[in-house]
Amino acid sequence: MHDLVYEVKRMAERNRDGSLGTQHERKRVLMLCAEQLVEMGYKELHAHDLKGRHVNKLVARWKTEALSRSTFDNRLAALRYWAEKVGRVSILPRTNDVFQLPKRERIPRVSRARELPLDLSQVSDAYVRMSLELARSWGLRRKESLLLQPHQADKGTHLLLQGSWCKNGRPREIETLMPRQRDSLAAAKALVPTPTSSLIPEGSLFIDQRYKVDWWSRKLGLQGMHSLRHMFAQETYRYLTQMEPPIMGGPTWQEMDAAQQQADEDARGALSRMLGHNRLEITRVYLG
């Protein structure tokens, strides 16, 4: 392993910002960036010597590889992390627009939401059934639906997710709005053996349970568990606005009156928080 690759690897391992998944992905991207710099001739470079020209060289290389905009953004986020840790934040611009990157793909006009079958008895693992139901009822990500400790998370008026269960290590609250949420949480609490138990059976590993959830998601035609988050988002939008989401044929912003526009904006703000997103515009993926 080249010195530069080893240095960024150790840097990522020393600084444990975010969830374990975030840390692992950041380390992978940082090591990739270092390996590519070495391949491009920067064999004497050390981590603390990172400069703007090195970033520009990487971006130029990535443009020849026809990467997606999201991949560009992820890699540049890792480089900003690198620059921050070596005290060179100023070598990168505040936004990625300076690099003239490809535009993000257009928001799909077809809903990705999928509903759970009414009868889940074919799913032999009770914990998998419960994870699927919680993802549908509360809009949980796959990891969250496995690591959730239902007794600890239940706060009556809302579900409180610990940072260690969530993407990027950010805790969040999901409001209790509909009966299905209370019913699923009560069932989850009845299923787990202790107040500190998660939706991973005792004696099982996270990775093994994740494989089971993925397998059953495909078997049920869900196109991944994320489609259940889409269904949750659309159902919650209907509850909060009394309108169909635009992606399901509801009125567009231009077709709404002032009261409807305010309801739409309020609902998207609430959903953005409940789904764990920082940017309001992300709700367009779920709602149109």
pLDDT at 274: 94
pLDDT at 212: 93
pLDDT at 260: 93
Dihedral, CA atoms, 238, 239, 243, 244, nearest 10 degrees? 10
CATH topology for 126-287? hpI Integrase; Chain A (1.10.443)
Contact (CB, 8 A) for 248 and 233: no
Q: In the block, which residue shows the tokens 């009966």?
A: 179
What residue spans define the domains of the chain?
Answer: 3-99, 126-287
User: How many whole angstroms separate alpha carbon 165 and alpha carbon 147?
Assistant: 6
Q: Which residues contact 47 (CB under 8 A, 6 or more apart)?
A: 4, 7, 8, 11, 34, 82, 86
Q: In the block, which residue shows the tokens 């992978």?
A: 28
pLDDT at 108: 55
- What are 281's two structure tokens? 């515009």
pTM above 0.85, yes or no: no
User: How many whole angstroms separate alpha carbon 275 and alpha carbon 268?
Assistant: 10
User: How many whole angstroms separate alpha carbon 118 and alpha carbon 213?
Assistant: 17
What does each C-alpha distance from 236 to 86, 124, 150, 199, 274 come to in angstroms?
44, 29, 21, 24, 10
Report the 10 Å Cβ neighbour count for 147. Answer: 22
Ordered per-residue pLDDT tens for the chain, 288 residues: 788 989 989 888 888 777 777 788 888 889 989 999 999 998 888 989 899 899 898 988 888 877 777 788 888 888 989 988 889 888 888 888 777 777 765 555 688 888 998 888 899 999 999 999 999 999 999 999 999 999 999 999 999 999 999 987 889 999 999 999 999 999 999 999 999 999 999 999 999 999 999 999 988 988 778 899 999 999 999 999 999 999 999 998 889 999 999 999 999 999 999 999 877 778 888 998
How far, in whole angstroms, is CA 176 from its chain's centroid? 21
pLDDT at 109: 67
Helices assigned H by DSSP within the chain:
3-14, 20-39, 52-64, 69-85, 126-138, 142-147, 150-153, 179-191, 206-219, 226-241, 258-275, 283-287
> Quick one: DSSP state of residue 12?
H
Element (H, E) at 174: strand 172-175
- What are 248's two structure tokens? 């399901």
- What are 247's two structure tokens? 């992606």
pLDDT at 106: 56
pLDDT at 105: 57
